[in-house]
Amino acid sequence: MRKAVDLAAQSVSESDRADPPPAVGAVIVKDGVEVASAYRGQCASGNHAEKCAIESAKGSDLSGAVVYTTLEPCSRRNAPKIPCAQRLIDQGIGTVYIGLYDPNPKIYREGWKMLRDAGIALRDFPANLRGELREINADFLNQYRANGNPHGSATFDYIRSPIFSIGSSPIMVDTKWFHAASGVIHAYSSPGHIALARYAESLDEIDDPSAMDFEPEKYSVTAKEGNVVVFRGPHEHIYAIVRVEQVLSLDRGDDRNEVQFTYQVQTINIRGPLDELFEKEA
């Protein structure tokens, strides 16, 4: 694991890439002997570390081998590219140690699941090495964090355009609105993805949005001005917290149909509470 982290630090970024790529190192060990290792971009520009390490093993039998990789193996790639999780499964790898889980919501825990479902034993790197990996990957991780960025306000005609997307892909939550009554509006999401934060008066009062009661069948809540609604995104670690500020309606005597709200996006679970504790001590 130590070696994989050191390799990760040597990763080479593609020259033409706009978004920050991850730094990844991978080491393959069979019967206690290192067979191959690689960092991202070592074999060719943009090549994933696991793919490169497997290729460096030059066809040796890797069945039952242990792979130490600093980032959760990818679970999807554009065809004809093969995701690393699939490559590891195809090689008959026995155990995979994972450094960081991929913060990309499309991959987060998906790579782990693919490997688990294939019968591969899974272990995590210890917290001190994960801390090092987070430092090496600060830019990569930050692009998926909601910190500071997605919060603001929205004002729109809920009759003409009832759907409003909060945040931007991949950290995005779709919300839907419909006319209710004077100073009141219906808020919609998919079943099990919406909750009224009863009695809350401000966004700051929501500590952990996942603590709300998301009833499985419930897809709408009725919110008054001043109420706080919590939307759960398509991925369970992304939430939008919304405070309904004002609801105007033509049949109330207003000159337009309009909802105004303030919002804040929160991501949770990407870093666990234990990790944060560790960082505070460090």
Q: Which residues are catalytic?
A: 50
84 touches Zn ion (CB under 5 A): yes
**Residue 102 vs residues 27, 155, 279: alpha-carbon distances, Å:** 18, 34, 19
Among 74, 96, 166, 187, binds Zn ion (CB under 5 A): 74
At 82, list the tokens: 């093969």
187 touches Zn ion (CB under 5 A): no
Q: Reduce the DSSP state of residue 88 to 3 states and report it.
A: helix
CA dihedral 149, 154, 159, 162 (to 10 degrees): 10
54 touches Zn ion (CB under 5 A): no
**Residue 125 vs residues 1, 53, 96, 97, 273: alpha-carbon distances, Å:** 7, 19, 10, 6, 16
Among 48, 193, 232, 243, binds Zn ion (CB under 5 A): 48
* Count of positions on this chain that bind Zn ion (CB under 5 A): 3
133 touches Zn ion (CB under 5 A): no
Piece in contact with Zn ion (CB under 5 A), picked from 40-48, 144-152, 197-205, 249-257: 40-48
Q: Are the beta carbons of 102 and 108 closer than 8 angstroms?
A: yes
Question: Residue with the closest Cβ to Zn ion?
Answer: 84
Piece in contact with Zn ion (CB under 5 A), picked from 12-20, 81-89, 94-102, 230-238: 81-89
Piece in contact with Zn ion (CB under 5 A), picked from 67-75, 93-101, 123-131, 234-242: 67-75
Contact positions vs Zn ion (CB under 5 A): 48, 74, 84
